[in-house]
Amino acid sequence: MNQMKRGKQGMAIARLNGITLSYEVEGDGELVVLVMGTGSPGRVWSLHQVPALLDAGYRVATFDNRGIPPTDECVHGMTITDLVADTAALIEHLGAPARVVGTSLGARVTQELALARPDLVTHAVAMAAHARLDAAALVLNQGKKALYDEKIVLPPAYHAAVYALQSLSPATLRDPLAARDWLEMFEISGSATGPGTRAQLDLSDFKDRRAAYRAITVPTLVIGFADDTTIPCYLSREVADAIPAARYEEIPDTGHLGYLERPEAVNRVMLDFLAS
């Protein structure tokens, strides 16, 4: 069912895969679909990656994963299969096939989509890719869920400091001006988690997928962020090692938000691969 109406601020709203999904498409040319990570709206891509892709002549689609309003929050739960099917439905709605780029949870969606629906994906880019989580990441995720479940909201300044340490490279934090700007932004955003994001957090409990990824045939670029403490880059290298058609690039001086922290370096390797 592809009934569509125009939403606010240029967003489109469509009924796809049984949910209401919000998305935006810009530009002309071959389609690139960008898949965001846990708790973040699709518009985050608009800061750096969308302009670079538009300049390169692509038609670019960003969207809010289920769990992120105005897409349905699906507070009673979701599976990675649901998110993969949502992305597949959007690609079919916009005109398959597409180049697909994802980060963190979005990288998992991209990997699983390339495995399940290779007919829809010409190139896959997985930033902060992972086929499993290590012990520290699992405990961190459990802590995030506990904060929500116990209705604990961290003081904004403390949240900003913790999030900066989790998400940015020490190289960034050594620069007083850059650190100040990032901390101010994180403090303004706050630590409150919506019910849809809480549902997304449950997706981090999954079995090792390395063996399954050996069946991926789609050309894949795996990007690891060298100073990522959330998804350490050795986990990204594991994904690249598992996928026969994968290439691995590691971006120095980047944490988990590497696509925002060093966008020029990330965009350069992404665009080079998408043009191949």
Residue 70: cis peptide before it, omega within 30 degrees of 0 = yes
Q: How far apart are CA 262 and CA 248, in angstroms?
A: 17
User: What SS3 state is found at 202?
Assistant: helix
What DSSP line would sit under 142-195, residue for residue?
HHHHHHHHTT----HHHHHHHHHHHHS-HHHHTSHHHHHHHHHHHHHH-S---H
Residue 73, H or E segment: none
Q: List, by residue number, the catalytic residues.
A: 104, 228, 256
Specify the residue for token string 């498409």: 25
Beta pairing, strands 19-26 & 121-127:
unpaired
Specify the residue for token string 């935006």: 24
